[in-house]
């Protein structure tokens, strides 16, 4: 990238990078807006799936392997096959549930095939195959960027038209010395017309890291005019992490060296290439294939729109009608010798400043809410950021004057540094709102103790709460924690209820059917 600040200006590298970008952005504001009009919503989306919807979804079981799910969807309409390719968690990470995401792709309304986070590469690959065999295209103009002045303002704020909510706070919840960076984030939704309830999630359109955008423009040898034209778009509107096949194909066309072309063929076939991480990001490709020259405009044309991220809301509107609170775990890791940052979590936790607008929308939950009967007991298992919705539930129960008992299982690494919202929770205990607070700090003792171990230690009491009509909630990590907690729940029911494993499974199934077992896992 061509720097706009003189080399002699007295700034650190980070400050220089930020300021260069800032000035480039300012210079490019007008041109950028003009460029964005070419990205107006397309009205000629392919009507790929005109067949009638089928109503039963026998593959809608997260425990079923992909092959079995696809076999069950055989002979069904395209959108059903696409739904079977999803992870079946209805987690909302894509901004839809499995059924509505597949319908949106099949109708051509949604272009991004990589939004199913728990399904990962397997789902994206299967979707691509289905698109190919159905002989339709999901190419086309990108939709107008949500929150952009060019997006149609319907007056109602939603996923397509997010509200620019001023940031109120992004405070670190972990004490000094913690290995973690978990933030309490709050935004102002006054005058937005947005309403929410405990259990809903907030969708956030993040902005990319300025330094990464600058690095990419620099590797593309962007001219001053190109920087001015595209920098804002790269920051706000586009996914600059995940390479698309279109980017790989563009690089292949522009590669001069046959060895590079062959390597890209391997990448397109999802094979490993020595010297690249297993799942290379765009920056890795640009660094690795530094001899391949790409036009900035062509490069931009291969990128997908920025996807929103969801966060379980940590406040109740009954306590904070004009604010939404979140509990955000900042994602940072190293890969192939380079520090990587989760786009949205570092944006919310570290990059956005107080009073700056954050583009948000409400993603209503599908039944994940405190019991409608306020007399019913509530058991909540929420380690780490999994505590997020339960802070909202407790505020809700307090505001309602609910008499039902509340039990929270919380866990994290160290009690001294990672006991999120400790003061609030202990106050709830003192006030009698929280009948029981059971903690598991995994790295404080010789043996690692997790929330599921604590559940097993309290098996008899937990069983009594369930028998009393208790609702059981889990929030947080889907990969391990939610499975371990689910196993512990089955074990407790079988042992304490003196049931066979099969009867315990039926008992849990019935709890789910009655809305008494709810999970918000991601």
Ligand X SMILES: Cc1cc2nc3c(=O)[nH]c(=O)nc-3n(C[C@H](O)[C@H](O)[C@H](O)COP(=O)(O)OP(=O)(O)OC[C@H]3O[C@@H](n4cnc5c(N)ncnc54)[C@H](O)[C@@H]3O)c2cc1C
Q: Which 187-206 residues touch ligand X, going by CB under 6 A?
A: 201
What's the closest the beta carbon of residue 412 comes to ligand X, in angstroms? 13
Cα dihedral 143, 146, 148, 152 in deg (nearest 10): 70
Question: How far apart, in whole angstroms, are the C-alpha atoms of residue 99 and residue 91?
Answer: 11
Q: Which is nearer to ligand X, 466 or 481 (CB)?
A: 481
User: Can you tell me which residue has the tokens 């539930």?
Assistant: 393
Residue 385 touching ligand X (CB under 6 A): yes
Q: Which is nearer to ligand X, 334 or 447 (CB)?
A: 334
Q: Which is nearer to ligand X, 28 or 384 (CB)?
A: 384
Residue 96 touching ligand X (CB under 6 A): no
Q: Which 100-119 residues touch ligand X, going by CB under 6 A?
A: 117
Residue 388 touching ligand X (CB under 6 A): yes
C-beta separation of 391 from 410 below 8 A: no
Number of neighbours of residue 440 by Cβ within 10 angstroms: 22
What's the closest the beta carbon of residue 173 comes to ligand X, in angstroms? 11
What's the closest the beta carbon of residue 234 comes to ligand X, in angstroms? 15
Residue 9 touching ligand X (CB under 6 A): no
Binding residues for ligand X, rule CB under 6 A, total 24
What's the closest the beta carbon of residue 6 comes to ligand X, in angstroms? 34
C-beta separation of 408 from 382 below 8 A: yes
Residue 212 touching ligand X (CB under 6 A): no
Q: Which 298-357 residues touch ligand X, going by CB under 6 A?
A: 309-312, 327-329, 331, 333, 335, 342-345
C-beta separation of 476 from 512 below 8 A: no
Query: What are residue 385's phi and psi, to 5 degrees?
Result: -70, -10
Interhelix angle 78-85/120-134, nearest 10 degrees: 160
**Only segment of 91-99, 121-129, 184-192, 291-299 that touches ligand X (CB under 6 A):** 91-99
Question: How far apart, in whole angstroms, are the C-alpha atoms of residue 374 and residue 318?
Answer: 15
What's the closest the beta carbon of residue 146 comes to ligand X, in angstroms? 16
Q: Which is nearer to ligand X, 10 or 337 (CB)?
A: 337
Residue of closest CB approach to ligand X? 342
Task: Give the C-alpha distances (Å, rounded to integers) separating 395 from 223, 385, 389, 409, 424.
Answer: 53, 17, 10, 16, 10
Q: Which 108-167 residues touch ligand X, going by CB under 6 A?
A: 117
Written as one string, the DSSP assignment of 200-254 is -EEEEE----HHHHHHHHHHTT--HHHHHHHHHHHHHTB--SSPPHHHHHHHHHH
Question: How far apart, in whole angstroms, are the C-alpha atoms of residue 29 and residue 27?
Answer: 6
What's the closest the beta carbon of residue 223 comes to ligand X, in angstroms? 29
Residues that bind ligand X (CB under 6 A): 91-93, 117, 201, 241, 309-312, 327-329, 331, 333, 335, 342-345, 385, 388, 520, 522
């Amino acid at each position: 990238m061509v720097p706009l600040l003189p080399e002699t200006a007295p700034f650190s590298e980070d400050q220089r990078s930020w300021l260069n970008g800032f000035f480039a952005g300012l210079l490019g504001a007008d041109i950028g807006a003009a460029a964005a009009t070419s990205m107006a919503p397309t009205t000629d989306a392919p009507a790929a799936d005109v067949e009638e919807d089928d109503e039963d979804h026998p593959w809608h079981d997260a425990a079923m392997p992909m092959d079995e799910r696809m076999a069950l969807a055989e002979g069904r309409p395209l959108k059903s096959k696409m739904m079977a390719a999803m992870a079946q968690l209805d987690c909302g990470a894509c901004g839809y549930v499995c059924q509505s995401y597949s319908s949106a792709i099949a109708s051509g309304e949604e272009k991004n095939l990589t939004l199913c986070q728990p399904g990962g590469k397997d789902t994206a690959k299967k979707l691509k195959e289905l698109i190919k065999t159905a002989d339709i295209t999901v190419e086309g103009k990108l939709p107008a960027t949500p929150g952009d002045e060019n997006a149609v303002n319907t007056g109602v704020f939603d996923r397509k038209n997010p509200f620019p909510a001023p940031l109120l706070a992004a405070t670190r919840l972990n004490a000094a010395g913690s290995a973690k960076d978990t933030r309490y984030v709050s935004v102002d939704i006054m005058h937005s017309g947005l309403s929410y309830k405990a259990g809903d999630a907030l969708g956030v359109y993040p902005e990319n890291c300025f330094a990464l955008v600058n690095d990419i423009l620099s590797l593309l040898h962007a001219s001053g005019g190109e920087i001015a034209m595209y920098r804002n778009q790269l920051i706000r509107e586009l996914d600059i992490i995940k390479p698309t096949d279109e980017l790989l194909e563009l690089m292949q066309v522009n590669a001069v060296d046959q060895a590079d072309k062959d390597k890209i063929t391997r990448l397109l076939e999802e094979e490993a290439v020595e010297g690249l991480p297993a799942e290379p990001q765009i920056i890795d490709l640009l660094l690795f294939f530094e001899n391949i020259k790409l036009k900035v405009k062509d490069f931009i044309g291969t990128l997908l729109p920025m996807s929103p991220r969801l966060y379980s809301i940590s406040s109740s509107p009954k306590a904070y009608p004009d604010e939404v609170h979140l509990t955000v775990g900042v994602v940072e890791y190293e890969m192939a010798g380079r520090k990587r940052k989760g786009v949205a979590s570092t944006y919310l936790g570290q990059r956005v400043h107080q009073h700056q607008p954050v583009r948000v929308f409400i993603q209503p939950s599908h039944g994940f809410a405190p019991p409608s009967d306020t007399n019913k007991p509530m058991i909540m298992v929420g380690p780490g950021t999994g505590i997020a919705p339960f802070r909202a539930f407790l505020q809700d129960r307090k505001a309602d004057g609910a008499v039902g008992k509340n039990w929270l299982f919380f866990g994290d690494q160290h009690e001294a540094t990672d006991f999120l919202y400790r003061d609030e929770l202990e106050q709830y205990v003192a006030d009698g709102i929280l009948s029981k607070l059971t903690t598991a700090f995994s790295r404080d003792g010789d043996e690692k103790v997790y929330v599921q171990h604590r559940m097993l230690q309290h098996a008899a009491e937990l069983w009594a709460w369930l028998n009393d009509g208790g609702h059981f909630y889990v929030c947080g990590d889907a990969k391990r924690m939610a499975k371990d907690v689910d196993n512990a729940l089955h074990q407790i029911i079988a042992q304490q209820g003196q049931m066979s494993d099969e009867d315990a499974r039926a008992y849990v199934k019935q709890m789910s059917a009655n809305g008494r077992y709810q999970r918000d896992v991601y």
